[in-house]
Homo-oligomer: A and B are copies of this chain.
Amino acid sequence: MDTLNAAEILSALGHESRLSIFRLLVEAGPEGINAGAIGERLEIQPATASFHLAHLTRVGLIKGKRESRFIHYSANYETMDDLIAFLTNNCCQGASCLPKTVEVNSVTKRRRAAS
């Protein structure tokens, strides 16, 4: 991931509604949630929600899958992973910058080892 690409993704997440949408989709898991439910849950008008969903889709943070009349949106973890890797590699270089993240990852690793 280059700087321009990273900036685009960061910018997409740099809006309260879009960040909330992404968090909601992460919480929802791989089945996803349909557009209407997202708007209802976060109190965003349909047209506005659609605008933000399109934006998040464009930068690859989420994806939509049509299921009859509904479109189920779900998080694209790869893009978020790439972003975190970019920040970790390029924005903490050589610095003592990762105590909290290391702690979190230790938990993640333990969970993986257990499952």
Interfacial residues, chain A to chain B (CB-CB below 8 A): 3-4, 6-16, 19-20, 22-23, 26-27, 29, 75, 77, 80-85, 87-102, 104-105, 108-109, 112
Contact = CB atoms under 8 A, between A and B. Distances in A.
19 contacts: A3-B19, A3-B20, A3-B23, A10-B10, A10-B11, A10-B14, A11-B14, A14-B14, A22-B91, A26-B92, A26-B93, A77-B92, A77-B95, A80-B92, A84-B88, A84-B98, A84-B100, A87-B87, A105-B105
Count of chain copies: 2
A89 B104 contact: yes
A56 to B, nearest CB: 12
Contacts of A22: 91
Contacts of A81: 92, 97-101
A85 B100 CA distance: 6
A102 B109 contact: yes
A20 B10 CA distance: 13
